[in-house]
Each structure stands twice: as structure tokens, then as C-alpha cells.
Chains A and B, each alone.
Chain A
Amino acid sequence: MSKQQAIPIIFNQVKQINWPTLNQFLSATALPIVGIVIFIGLWSLMAKNIDTSLGQFPGPSAVWQQANVLLDEHNAQMDKADKFYQRQDERNAVRLAKDPSYTPKIRAFTGAPTFLEQIWTSLYTVMVGFIVASLLAIPLGIICGLSKNAYTAINPLIQLFKPVSPLAWLPLVTMVVSAVYVSNDPMFSKSFITSAVTVSLCCLWPTLINTAVGVSSIDQDLLNVSKVLRLNALSHVIKIVIPSSIPAIFTGLRLSLGIGWMVLIAAEMLAQNPGLGKFVWDEFQNGSSESLARIMVAVLTIGVIGFALDRLMLMLQRKVSWDKSAVLR
């Protein structure tokens, strides 16, 4: 076999055998990595050339460094909290000795919330707002999907409120919450209620609309089966309607959660309610040379959490979906 003949044969073999696996490998892991590397490269290149009045725009290394600083600050604050509780115990003991009628009370740490605590606050708020909205939107959507009359009645309202920006709601929500939610020993703080209600108001619509559409486009065959079996209204909804509209409902839920997360950050920023949005705003106000890098850490965190929330919903959807062969993305 001459050399000239050998090359195409080997080449062909390589093409036939290796291409598919390489392709899979590329698309599964390598391409995202390439994307990220290019992004980081471009980012650090751009960062070097942007000078703001707060110093240079933070590159990847500055952001990484600040992420570590934020973690350290969290740990330092935890240490401080330990000492705070210790001092408090001692002080209570002293006062009890002087004033036996005193009822000692352990007070929660009064220090400023750290970055990690702000993340937790935001996550908690968005989940509460989202769950409340879903509990309202899914039943309402099912009713709209089942009854043409109900849909015609509610549709104008949906169309009217759907495009309203959350920030337009915010002042109203704030005032209503402070007027209505009055108690001496509130279980939740007002700021939490305000943020959660704002998130709920914006989470309602995608779920509502998608549920209604999903329910109204159920396969005629399935409806016929329900009729033949003479299912009553409740079992009709549970056995036929909900299972067959699960994909549509989840499409709505995923959209809602994404919107809710975006809305929450903006609401926290504007209303100065605790959470990641407030963190970003506070850092912006500080105007220190590290502020931009710290904001960038928050931006990336917000992105990662948004992505994780979406994946979580996707996993749930796969779990509850009856059609395991459907392509979900």
C-alpha cells in the first residue's frame, strides 16, 4: 500500500469512527468551556480599557478577589455574632443578680447582614412570592381553560395588568402593606411582605396564561375518554386536565420564576428592602474603589442563582411530566 492510498483510508476511518463521539464531546463540554474562556478573555480585555471615576472596571481577577473578601467578611461577622451572644449572656447574668425580677431574653445579633445572608433573604423572598402566585394562578388558569366564559371575563384584566412593570406596583404595595399589615409582634417584617407581594404580582401572569392555554388545548380524544367514563368535574380535572397540561403549566412556572427573580432584585434596590438588590445599591452608594468589583460579584451570583432556579424547575418538570420522551430545554 502506498502512502497516498493509506492517508485517505486512515482519514476515512478517523472520520467514520471518531467524528460522532468527538462531536458529542464537543457539544457537551468543550463548547461551553470555549464560550466561557472567550468571554473571560474579552471581559478582562475590555475591563482594562474602561476607566470609571471609581477606578478601572473590575476584571475577572478583581472580582474573584472580592468574592473571597466577601466570604471572609461573612466569617468575621459570624465570629462577631458568637462574641455578641457571649457578652449578652454575661450581661443578662449581671442584671439578673441586681434585678431578680428581670426576665432575660436572648436577642438576635444586631450586626449588618453579610453577602451570604443577603443571598438567603432574596432566595427566601422570591420562593414565597412565587409559591403564593402559583397557588393563585394555576387554579385560575384551569378555570379559564375549562370555561370559555370565564376566560372571556378575565382576559381583559390579564391583558391590562400583564405589561405593568413591577416598579410601578411597588409604591402602592409599600403603602398598602404598611397600612394593612399592623401588628405589635409581626411574624414577618414589612419589607419582606412588600417584596414578596411585588414578586407575586409579577409572577401571576405567565403561569395564568400558559395554564389557560394548556388546558384549553387538551387533545379531543382525552376529553372524549373523560366523557365516556362519565368522570365528575373533580376527577376530570385531576385525572385528565392537570396531567395533560403539565408541560404548559411548567412552561408558565419557569417563565414566572425567572421574572420573579428579576423583579425582586429591582424591587429590593428601589425599596431598600434587605436582599441582593440592596447589596448592589449600597455598594453603588459607597463609591469605594472596590465597589464595582463587589457589584460584579453580586451580578454573577444573581445570574448563577437564576440559572440554578431554572434548572430546578426543569428537573421538577421532568419528574412530573407524563411524556418522558418530550424534549425539554
Chain B
Amino acid sequence: MNALEVSDLSFAYGAREALRHVNFELAPGRFAALLGPNGAGKSTLIALLTRLYDLQHGDIRVGGSSLRDAPRPALKQLGVVFQQSTLDLDLSVEQNLRYHAALHGLSRRQSGVRIDAELARQALTERRRERVRELNGGHRRRVEIARPLLHQPRLLLLDEASVGLDPASRLALNQHIRNLCREQAISVLWTTHLLDEVQASDDLLILHQGRLVASGQADVLSLEHGGDLGSAFTRLTTSGAAR
């Protein structure tokens, strides 16, 4: 069963179309990069995937459950790291994580066990009692990544998660997510506008003007559309050719 299926998804802000007949699938344990220039429709897609906006046309299935018909099982399988920090700066690392675990209905005991495990994985155990305000940007991001893993999702959605990090932290974060993807068989949808965050074996989705203009393995798409990823991306996002 696919971790994510987006079928015939369209969305409009009044008369302005933001997404038009978008279709793609994400297999279990795969790392998919969603690329697109500003205004391509990435934020709208994220808002629909995270239930911030209601579906207008088409459907989204997470782990086989439809966001339209069965939002509860769908959201149970979805973990999200938002572009802007959504941590409560005045609360400690542990308090932030406990809040998230509670929102997902985990008991205090369950959340305690999982918080221990995720903090250890992120090398943040020593900082669990520190206020988030006292952490640097890289550590905050690690807390934000530990947070959605508490409810053990099948699909992890990262919306420009590397924004604001220095190049070394950015690469480390990207590698860390790939390790998670491999070790825990979590599917990852990584939205970005930075081409160096994409690897040859990744699934690649390119959005342009609300349409999915390309999807497939990154190295195959690069060969098909110009030789390297940069040329392929430029060609696909300037021609406006929709599949």
C-alpha cells in the first residue's frame, strides 16, 4: 500500500487556480523531493496535506485512508515538520514534545517512552529540560523532527525544513532524514527549492504553475530533460509543459 496517493487534486483561491489535476504516489520507505519555484503551488499542497485547507476537488490518501472520508486514520499516519517553527519557545524541549504526544492521544507513559527514544536518536537527551528559546537553530530543527516521530507516522512531510540553517546543518539534516527513511521505512516528502538537497535515486516531483510537470526518479528525469538536474528543472519550469 502506498504511503501517499494524491489523485486529481485541484484547488482554487476564488477564481485563481493554485493546483490543477495533480496526481502522484509515494511508495513506502521512499524519499521524494517536491521541487517548485515560488508560486508553484507547494504551500497550497502542504496546506491540503495537513488538513489546514479542505479538499475542493480530488483526494489525498495517507496509508490508504482518505483525508476526505477518514481524516482520523489518515492524520494518525502523517507527521509534519513545518517551514516556520511551531515550537513554543517558552516551554522546554520535553514540554513541547509532551504536548504533541497528547494531541495524538498518547498516554503520559507512552509518550515518556517515545520521547526518551526520539531525544536519544536526535542526541538531545541532555537538553530535554532546556527552554526551546535557549537552543540554536539546528537544535530547534531537531526537536521539530523528533516531534512528529513520536506518534510513529508512515509518512513524514517536511516543508522547506532546511530553511534558515547553515549549509553544514542543512546537509546534516537532509542526511539524517534519509537515515530515518531507510532505518524506519518511513516515506518522506521533502519540499525544497534547493537542488543540492536532491539525490539521484530520489523520487522527484516538480510543480510549476499549479501543475505537476514531472515525476519520476531524479536521475532518469535529469537525463530525459537536459542532462543534469539544474537544466532539467530550468527547462521544466520555464516551458510550463504539463503532463
| Chain A partners chain B | no
